[in-house]
Amino acid sequence: MNADSTPESRERGADGGLSYAGAGVSIAEGDRFVDMIQPLMRRTFGPRVIENPGGFAGMFRLDYNERLFKRNYRDPVLVACADGVGTKVKIATALRKFDTIGIDLVAMNVNDLIVQGAEPLFFLDYIAVNALEPEVQAELVKGVVEGCRQAEAALLGGETAEMPDVYPEGEFDLAGFSVGVVELTRATDPERIEPGDVILGLASSGVHSNGFSLVRQVVEHAALDLNRSYEELECDQTLGEVLLEPTRIYARPIVKVQRGYRVKKVITGMAHITGGGLAGNLQRALHSQVDAVISESNWSAPPIFRFLEKRGGIAPAEMRRVFNMGVGYCLVVRPSFAASIQDKLRRLGEEVFVLGEIVAGSGSVRKIGDSD
């Protein structure tokens, strides 16, 4: 990872000339930070990573036609995405807790990646700060490393940028970039979805990393204390701890289930439930000749959502548009395989709900028991 940025120097150095340090950018601290995180990154390396000390980019070998690896591809297609964690970083900053937000960063990327049927290969991060605090940034990278470990992806590199003219003191932002691979014939295709297919939902770990501008507005509007435990949350954690619960990473169980069906394409569609809610994201998985019919009585939203709705006076429809409401990921599967897939996912540690089914329609999501 490099620690660099491009603001013009404005202050005088020891010799009377302008200097980078005088502009608020410390190359020495950047070098120290890189030394701190190199051992962390290596924890995510597998045999496909080609170590490149001092290199300007990471190197990763595709295992096509290589006997060294177990998973070879006849027609590999690379899948790539980029995402961030939004204003959830403001909660982390307020609580000075930085060791989990990196998990969110990985999750928001790889959960999108696997929707296409891909397995994650590697990940890169971008951290932008006012000024380097190597110990703080190392905590951020620890979270990224843990996320990569959960996703079974290599942390191949990244960038840390000091930009004192852009970010106020103590502020930072994160972005991530993930690359995966899928066999072309196994890539997700909405046209495979048919009436009768079953819609399965995987439980979220909480708010995940969407809607935090509204969350923070509720906290301010209702004068909530992030360091306080509230009875309505039905746990011993503080509100801040509940909100910082990392986004669940679904890569490992989804990839393992898919590998169990080498020939039959029993998973016909998938959706990562982010901004736009369950209906908005599930609709993206459909083609124009089918509808998804879901029953909201088939799962219960975690207490944090009821808490935010009540304390913020948020309309139920707005809650569903903004938040995942307890369902973080969806699969559309052939009905004859629905029970076995549920069983496999549960054995892999997922809480699974049968949300509904696919019917003939026009590409929309319909709800049974919608109270709006």
Place of tokens 């501008």: 213
Residue-by-residue DSSP string for 330-346: EEEE-GGGHHHHHHHHH
Q: At what angle do helices 27-42 and 134-151 cross, to 10 degrees?
A: 20
| Helix (H), strand (E) at residue 317 | helix 316-322
CA distance 324 to 205: 10
Name all domains of the chain by residue range, CATH numbers in brackets. Answer: 2-186 (3.30.1330.10), 190-211+246-368 (3.90.650.10)
The per-residue pLDDT for 24 is 64
CA distance 331 to 316: 24
From residue 260, alpha-carbon distances to 333, 342, 352 in Å are: 14, 13, 18
Within 13 Å of residue 121, how many CA atoms lie on the same side as its CB? 22
CA distance 1 to 159: 5
The per-residue pLDDT for 8 is 34
What is the pTM for the complete model shown? Answer: 0.87
Angle at 215 between CA 213 and CA 217, to 5 degrees: 70
* Residues lower than pLDDT 70 in the chain: 1-27, 29-30, 33, 36-37, 54-55, 63-72, 369-372
DSSP 8-state symbol, 55: -
Going along the chain, which residue ranges are E strands? 2-3, 49-50, 59-60, 76-84, 119-129, 154-162, 172-183, 198-203, 267-272, 290-295, 327-333, 352-360, 365-368
The per-residue pLDDT for 57 is 77
Digit-coded pLDDT (tens) for 93-128:
999 999 999 999 999 999 999 999 999 999 999 999
The per-residue pLDDT for 70 is 58
The per-residue pLDDT for 298 is 95
Both tokens of residue 149? 């470990």
